[in-house]
Structure 1
Amino acid sequence: MNKRKLFSAIALLLCLSFNFQLTAQVNLSEKLPLDNKVKIGKLANGLTYYIRPNSKPEKKVELRLVVNAGSILEDNDQQGLAHFTEHMAFNGTKNFKKNELVNFLQSIGVDFGADLNAYTGFDETVYILPIPLSDPANFTKGLQILQDWAGGISFEGKQIDDERGIILEESRLGKGAEDRMFRKIYPKQYEGSRYAQRLPIGKDSLLKTFKHSAIKRFYADWYRPNLMAVMVVGDIDVTETEKLIKQYFGGLKNPANPRPRIAATVPARTKNDALVVTDKEATNFQIELNYSTAKTKPEITVEDYRRNSIIKSLFTSMLNQRMNELAQSGNPPFSFAGGNFGSYARGYEAFNAFAIPGPKGPDTALQAVLTELERVKKFGFTQGELERAKKQQLASIERSYNNRDKTESGVLVEEYIRNFLQQESIPGIEREFEYKNGLMPGVQLAEVNALANELKKNEKLFIAFQGPEKSNFTLPNKTQLIAAAESASTIPVKAYEEKAIAASLLKSVPTAGSLVKETKNEALDIIELSYSNGTKVIIKNTNFKQDEIILTGFKKGGTNAYGLTDKYSAAYATSAIQQMGIGEFNPVDLRKFLSGKTANANIGLNALSTRVSGNSSIKDMETMFQLMYLNFTQVRKDEALFKGWKDKIKSQVQFMMADPTSAFIDSVYKVMYGGNPLAPSAIPNATDFDQINLDRAIEIFKEQTNDANDYTFIMVGNIDLNTVKPLLATYIGGLPSKGKKGAFVDNGLRILPGQKDLIFYKGKEPKSFIFNIYSGDATYSEQAALHTEMLAEILNIKIIEELREKIGGIYGGGVNGSLNKYPFQGYTMVLQLPCGPENVEKLSIAATAEIEKIKQNGPEQKDLDKVKKSLLEKYAVNMKDNRYWSGLLQGIYFSENDPTRILNYKDIVTAVSIEDIKKAATTVFDSKNRINAVLFPEK
């Protein structure tokens, strides 16, 4: 036996021994432990608290107030008021008058909506408050805010009435074909249950007219300490935090005669049923199969964990792999399909399957899903499928375990929310790693296949079919859908057949290139390596994550180099090639090969460059490089897979213009570019895909990838230079090179100059959309780009204050845009305001007024300070993030940004003045080139 085989044998024996020991140590009847890193306690008033010290990110804490009460508890005169209560928490409390709370949080760097937020569900309301600890006093202020939300919301009459408009705008935002169809299907899915009658958004008619006493009653009944949890996860001291929680929340009192918090029930389905719903504005078909709902039990023992978190997960993973395999075939019966165990109802679970029909229509899609379910019922899965699914789960938990000390506080606190509300187990990543490694090898195929018995036992189905009113298909009716389900057991099926796949990605290892230069940038702590084929690699070694490697790369060029004849072949070259696979692997076989590996790499073409993106664990880094190498050198042509993908895409986009907003945006784009045939499509048209020439698409892709010269690659993560250098020499230094330099190409495409006012009428709902575009030429500098970014954020503060809070005319919306350097120097700013038709003029005037104020006088100092604080708080967090650093380095090497700005960012931001922002506003809102477009509903 040679040394390599000997070491492999020893490693295998050690691995087997390790798994045996773990299995022997795991007692299935053992109660699942609680992670000892989190302190869970309960105050005398019944309030539960979770405290977890965590230093990722540093100097920041995630606060949550979790209320075990949602829309399911509303009385008939309160429908929508659980959600309304959540809104009122931001409209005045005992210690913060209206606007004071949001103003304070913005002043310490917390963005409203992006950071500060909340949500209301059927069974719970959760308040999200991330607090920067750059000032330690922020922590107690944050706890004060949570205390106010828990027991001190003001509910002033004027504030309630003013908020009605904002809530109704949120409701309006969700209206459309999808919502109309959902509101017909959902009550049938949960028929006989309170869940069918209590959508969190409520009823518009009641939201307009409810009495103030109704919302105060909801708050008094359900916002009580014995239904609440306070969660503190971050860079804090446990002992001090526990004292503060007792201080701030110990005085909260429960009602003298509390209403019982009763869980809603969901009756089992007693018969097969179906519903067909169509809408003229629908953009796609969908079929959903819901099996009968059954009550679940919380995970208490290791055996529960084994069944729910391992066996059930393996079952759904393997089923969805089969569905993906069909969807990615050369003759796909549907565009997408899948299945899972879940439910809107807490404490209940059902198996659900869905399909998005493809070019063959809904009948074929439904039959294909039923066939796959029958195949699983009759034959189960194969041992090969099981082993791949096991490998994938073990690879996932291993990476989480390796990064356990670098897990973000926001991830941890989400686990604690589920533990409080749903009794989800939280044994901690160390114990989960132990359980999965110890239990996974012992999971037998028969156990996973036995889950199909659940479908056999509970075969009462509800089938929902929805989609456009008119199509090329004869749509099924209710009777036909039920008949298809009831006859499914007679479908002739064969057992799934495994197909052999290649044992390695590459047939031979590339000839390595030579390293010709190595330099170090001490200031940025990066290594620059140059290779003989003209490639350059930038390496930044970090400890932000213990097991994360981020790879990016680029070469200037891209699809702008191609004219009108090649427009669609170039635009869709990346998508088409990704659908056909690489080397000897089609996408399905490649996914199977990569089971158990944490590695991916892709190449994509955009207007200005060819881009490489990839990531991996440390141990799978070579696999990532091999995938990248194959993408560069071995494009795979498969006409059947290309046709299957093209037909699917065409079927998905054929009804897109039925959606009023999509049709509106598409029309605005056509006006923006004056019908220039080189302009990008806002909404793809089905006929676009018929203009793709596969051979030409492959040729274009190869033209952009067959010459490695002038490619720059960036690696960020936990990288050992001695380990990575041989891999870089082989898989990057070994790429073929012809010596051609990359260059930006300006194809002359511009937004047309001048002022245009456009009005469109489409849609049956009373919905409007203000869409204003400002554009033009402007001299680029990084400083001017920063000022433009800050201007947009200042305007968004004013839009929240004036258009949302004072006028009550919008729920969401705002300004975004940028100053561009390539392929020409210029700017684009976009204002988007979804609203009611009756408020279009009022909001347009108000938005213009805010822009003009800044043009004339500059921003208010307090608003500029808020944006500065927000940028600096984000910078402090992002500087410990691998992907952020990857982006910074791309800016230096692709856009030729000044590297010193990274280290001097704090001083640069701090120095920005009111006059700087005023100048930026004068530049980008000069009114010379402006499109004012408004969508109105059909007359």
Structure 2
Amino acid sequence: MLIGCAGLSSKEQQGPVQKYYLDNGLEVILWANSNSHSNDEVELDLVIHTGSLQETDDQLGYAHLVEHMLFEQVAEDGSHPVKDVLTSLDLKLGQHANAYTTYDHTNYYLKVIGAEQQRLHSALKLLSSFAFKSEFVEAEVAQEIGVVREEWRLREPEAHRAQYKLRQLDLAGSRYYERPPIGTLASIQAAQATSLNTFYKDHYRPANASLIISGDFNLEKMRQRVELEFSQWPSKDLGRAQQYPAPALDNTSTHMLTDPLQDNYWLALMREESEATVNNAVNWLDTMKHDAVLEILWQRLEKRRFKASGGVRSFSAGMDHPYGNMMRYYVSLEASLDSLPEAVRLLAQERHRIATFGVSKIELDAWRDAMLINEQPQQDSAWHLAEIAVDHVVYGTWLRGQQEYLATLEAQLPLLTSADINTAAADMFASDLKVELVAPNTQTLPSPADLSQWLFEESVDDGFAVQLLSLQTWPVNAALGQIIQQQTLANGVTVFELSNGITVQHRYSASAPGKVYMHLVGQGGLNQLLGRDAINARLSLQTMTASGLGALDGPALSQWLEQRGIVLQPYYTYFTREMQLASPSEDVDLSLRLMHYALTQGRVSNSVLDYYKQQNLDVIVEMQGSVLDPYHRDIEAVFSGTDPSLRRLTVDEINVTQASQMLALYNRHYKGAQNYVLSIVGDIQAHELEQTLAANVASLPLTANPPAGFRSAPVLREPLQISGQGSNEKSTQVVLLYQIPKSVVAQ
């Protein structure tokens, strides 16, 4: 560490992350970090603390236009120096090298994979050219104006969308309203090289910038290189550009709009607050209280959703930072016209319940456990650290890595009490809230009186029971199976042959410490099923998963999986039957027991089936009402034909679906050992799997008649053009599909 290196200010933060300032005022953050998620990877960010808010009335869109110009520079000999450097570093523009402009800053970033010193030096030199070594000429400006004009034209159709109109209502009366980052078409087309050069020199100055480098690099050498590349950036002693306040808070308005592309009704309840910056572990705890309230509220809503009609599509809850230091809490829903009153009442009732009565200790403990289980195996990647650092230099947020974050979780979460969460819930939801509702433009908006009545009915269905989810152990009582053969191949893969015919393939990987990923695959999927079986298969696994397993119904199972950090997702493809699983390494045995249940004790709840039948019927009605329905049907006719595994289902086909048919298909085509192959990759050794494979996988019953016989997917026999008109958008989309034989791909 070169503490005495010339040109470094004494204003310096030491430790795992180094933050310091060059003599010219440039803020530098170096975050050296090497693990399986950032090995040989480095991200470099140059943040300019100027966005559209800092533009004058005759500069609207300049921050964004300059961002474009810096990537499109042309040398006197006609070469493209920026693109040449990116090519030499194997960085693809857009994927590894890009930039964006917001209201309050502009960020240029390079994601370098292969962190050799010379590659990092070249990347750093490129950022320095962006910072203070560029100049624009009229020919380049004229060309790039055309590019930005087309970008503006592509965004212009948003003006008729409800979300655009809601955003404009949010921003009304503020500087944000007057200065969208993309600018105005008139200002963009009037831009000249002289005015852009002036804007560039005025705002691209070291005291108005931050340089962030994170990932796998040598800290001492990087400090030297930063000094070499950036100490010559001339200082103007002007400090940071002026910052502007977020739009005014609004917790009382009700906005109801229609949207030409909206399929269902969408409603959100929101509360906005001016948030004190979360810059340390202490005030971070307040954010966690709010997170707990929102997560528990969402879980309660999900529990009740499956008891509602199928037109209640979804609920969500969360928080975001839409502008500056504004914090917005929200709970939202999506529902069909017929189910809108029911959905709004459910949401309003649960909002009232949590604001008035709070949460139980069981719910709080489950949320705490889930937080720790999900965070313990996580590692910092170079990209993630860069994201944290950018937020820190722009908004002053907590500059912390995963180890510090996890230590804070382990120390602070046990201190949270139900009383803490209940106080937070009352603060968030007991007072006035903003209401936003968006409807399809083919439907009518509810009257303000009706909406108010739905929102403020406070009766609550007390049928919601908190289950002791953590006590679920999933005991497997089947006779123990056997591993009849085991061998380790030259590539490090261990293959287990089990007594019931299942093959297990295992490979150790530390790329995600503490995590294991599993994938069960059986050859033969929808391509083995005809008629009613194919229709049942398309509806069955989603319905069966939502019906629950063991002692847990569907919502409780979903909560249990989330709390334990376990993934269980069965599904069909055209060619296979599959199940994705993932869990912490310590819970692999638990996950495989759960897989055993899913392959032996599947069930169908009639109420859940009714829910999904209604949901699918609503989708069919929406598709039929779309202006693009004829176009979509033309495509289906080519690529799906009459195959019920692929084509759109009919109302009659869905209506006659029965639970008994689904269970019969499950017993025949999904249950038991079938012809499954289980692949396991992650942080667990082969010998650690032997006992659990025998107990939970080899014990799966043999399948009497494993699936046989497959049909091929539909193929395009000759070139074909399909077109449709009237999407309600002011743009045209062209899709080219190429069908390539496997033999050609193999070559």
Equivalent-residue separation in structure 1 for 2:612 and 2:51 (angstroms): 42
- Which of 501, 521, 532 lines up with 2:499 in the alignment? 532
Aligned AA (1:91): E
- Tell whether the 8 Å contact from 1:94 to 1:153 is kept in structure 2 after alignment: no
Separation (CA, whole Å) in 2 of partners of 1:697 and 1:173: 46
Task: Indicate the larger mover: 568-577 or 539-548.
Answer: 568-577
Question: Offset at 1:117?
Answer: 2.0
Amino acid at match of 1:509: N
Describe the shift of the 1:368–1:126 C-alpha distance in structure 2 as closer, same or farther (beyond 3 A).
same
Select the residue among 487, 500, 507 that pairs with 1:519: 487
Secondary structure of the 1:76 match is coil
Question: Who is 1:467 aligned against?
Answer: 439
1:307 matches 2:272: no
Question: Which stretch shows the higher mean deviation, 540-549 or 424-433?
Answer: 424-433
| Match of residue 391 from structure 1 | 369
Tell me the CA shift for residue 453 of structure 1. 3.2
Which secondary structure does the structure 1 equivalent of 2:485 belong to? strand
Instruction: Report the CA distance shift for 1:347/1:750 in structure 2 as closer, same or farther (over 3 A).
Output: same
**2:485 maps to 1:504:** no
The letter for the 1-side match of 2:28 is Y
1:641 to 608, 622, 628: 608
Q: Give 1:341 deviation, angstroms.
A: 3.2
Matched, 1:53 2:32: yes
Once the two structures are superposed, residues 148-175 of structure 1 have per-residue CA deviations (whole angstroms, 9 ceiling, x without a partner) of 2222343332222222343344344446
Distance (whole Å) between structure 1 residues aligned to residue 630 and residue 89 of structure 2: 39
**Which residue among 650, 661, 669 is the counterpart of 2:635?**
669
Does the Cα contact within 8 Å between 2:43 and 2:383 map onto a contact in 1?
Answer: yes
Cα distance, 1:684–1:742 mapped onto 2, change above 3 Å: closer
Query: Partner residue of 2:9?
Result: none
Q: 2:351 aligns with which of 373, 388, 404?
A: 373
Whole-angstrom distance in 2 between the partners of 1:71 and 1:213:
19
Distance 1:654 1:480 in 2: 25
**Alignment partner for residue 229 of structure 2, among 248, 268, 274?**
248
Q: Is the 8 A contact 2:265 2:337 kept in 1?
A: no
Distance 1:439 1:95, change over 3 A: farther
1:476 partner amino acid:
P
TM-superposed deviation, 1:348: 1.6
Aligned to 2:91: 110
TM superposition shift of 1:98: 6.3
Counterpart residue type for residue 446 of structure 2: P
In structure 2, what is the equivalent of residue 708 of structure 1? 673
| Structural mapping, 1:209-220, within 5 Å | 209-220=190-201
Q: Given the alignment, which residue of 212, 215, 218 partners 1:231?
A: 212
Shift of 1:147: 0.9
Secondary structure of the 2:472 match is coil
What letter matches 1:433 in structure 2?
L
Residue 806 (structure 1) aligns with? none
Partner of 2:725: 761
Letter in 1 for 2:636: K
Partner-residue secondary structure (3-state), 2:599: helix
Give, in whole Å, the separation in 2 of the partners of 1:592 and 1:322: 10
| Inter-CA distance 210–574: structure 2 relative to 1 (3 Å threshold) | farther
Query: Any conservation in 2 of the 1:609–1:744 contact (CA below 8 Å)?
Result: no
Residue 284 of structure 1 is matched in structure 2 by: 264
> Structure 2 CA distance, aligned partners of 1:95 and 1:622?
65
Greater mean deviation of Cα atoms: 525-534 or 89-98: 89-98
- Give the Å deviation of 1:37: 1.6
Q: List aligned pairs for 1:559-708, cutoff 5 A.
A: 559-594=526-561, 596-651=563-618, 654-656=621-623, 663=629, 666-670=632-636, 672-673=638-639, 675-678=641-644, 680-681=646-647, 689-690=654-655, 692-708=657-673
* Contact kept? 2:50, 2:104, Cα under 8 Å: yes
Would you say the 8 A contact 1:391–1:595 is kept in 2? no
Q: Residue 241 of structure 1: CA displacement?
A: 0.3
Q: 1:666 & 1:381 partners in 2: Cα distance?
A: 47
Q: Which residue of 2 aligns with 1:85?
A: 66
Q: Quick one: structure 1 residues 496 and 636, their matched pair in 2 at CA, closer, same or farther if it must change by over 3 Å?
A: closer
Q: How far off its partner does 1:107 sit?
A: 4.0
Q: State the one-letter code of the partner of 1:268.
A: L
Counterpart residue number, 2:165: 184
Q: Is the 8 A contact 1:673 1:750 kept in 2?
A: yes
Alignment pair present for 1:351 and 2:337:
no
- Say whether residues 1:550 and 2:517 are aligned partners: yes
Alpha-carbon distance in structure 2 between the residues aligned to 1:483 and 1:214: 56
SS at 1:51 equivalent? strand
Work out whether 1:319 is the aligned partner of 2:297.
Answer: yes
Alignment of 1:769-780 (within 5 A): 769-775=733-739, 777=741, 779-780=743-744
Figure out how many residues of one structure are paired with residues of the other and give that number. Answer: 733
Paired position in structure 2 for 1:476: 446
Q: Superposition pairs for residues 821-840 of structure 1, below 5 Å?
A: none
Contact 1:602–1:628 (CA under 8 A) maintained in structure 2: no
Provide the rounded CA distance (Å) in 2 between the counterparts of 1:439 and 1:526. 41
2:50 counterpart residue number:
69
Query: Is the contact made by 1:51 and 1:231 (CA closer than 8 Å) also made in structure 2?
Result: yes
CA offset digits 1:533-572 (Å, max 9, x no partner)? 0011111112223211111121111111112343322223
Deviation at 1:513, TM superposition (A): 0.8
> Residues 686, 666 of structure 1: CA spacing in aligned structure 2 closer, same or farther, 3 A cutoff?
farther
Distance verdict in 2 for CA 1:95–1:316, change over 3 Å: farther
In structure 2, what is the Cα distance between the partners aligned to 1:674 and 1:725? 44
TM-score w.r.t. structure 2 length?
0.90
Aligned AA (2:719): Q
1:213 and 1:325, CA in 2 relative to 1: closer, same or farther beyond 3 A? farther
CA contact (8 A) 1:327 1:334 kept: yes
Matched with 2:23 is: 44
Q: Select the residue among 273, 276, 280 that pairs with 2:253.
A: 273
Partner SS, residue 513 of structure 2: coil
The alpha-carbon distance between structure 1 residues 673 and 709, as it changes in their structure 2 partners (threshold 3 A), is: closer
Show the counterpart of 2:110: 129
Cα deviation for residue 142 of structure 1 reads 0.3
- Going from structure 1 to structure 2, the CA distance change for 1:58 and 1:506 (only over 3 Å counts) comes to closer
Deviation at residue 449 of structure 1 after TM alignment: 0.7
Amino acid aligned to 1:297: A
Cα distance change of structure 1 residues 278 and 688 upon mapping to structure 2, 3 Å threshold = farther
Contact 2:362 2:468 in 1 (8 A): no
Partners of 1:319 and 1:338 within 8 A in 2: no
**C-alpha deviations, 1:394-413, integer Å up to 9, x for none?**
2123222xxx4xx3211222
Range with greater deviation from structure 2 (732-741 or 771-780): 771-780
Q: Show CA shifts across 1:116-170 (max 9, x none).
A: 2222222222222112337542211100111122223433322222223433443
Residue 718 of structure 2 is aligned to residue 749 of structure 1: no
How many Å separate the matches in 2 of 1:170 and 1:687? Answer: 45
Alignment check: 8 A CA contact 1:381 1:496 kept: no
Q: Is 1:723 aligned to residue 692 of structure 2?
A: no
Compared CA separation, residues 657 and 171, structure 1 to 2 (3 A): farther
AA in 1 matched with 2:420: E
Cα displacement (A) at 1:94 = 7.8
Match of 1:160 in 2: 141
Measured in 1, the distance between the counterparts of 2:78 and 2:462 equals: 66
What is the one-letter code of the residue matched to 2:257?
Answer: V
Query: Equivalent residue of 2:678, what SS?
Result: strand
Checking the alignment, whether the CA contact within 8 Å between 2:96 and 2:112 is kept in structure 1 is: no
C-alpha separation between the residues in 2 aligned to 1:339 and 1:497? Answer: 18
Q: In the alignment, residue 217 of structure 2 is paired with which amino acid?
A: I
**What amino acid is the match of 2:421?**
V
- Secondary structure of the equivalent of 1:226? helix
Displacement of 1:606 in angstroms is 0.9
Q: CA deviation digits over 1:760-791, x for unaligned, max 9?
A: 22134431122223336463563x2xxxxxxx
Aligned-partner Cα distance in 2 for 1:141–1:186: 41
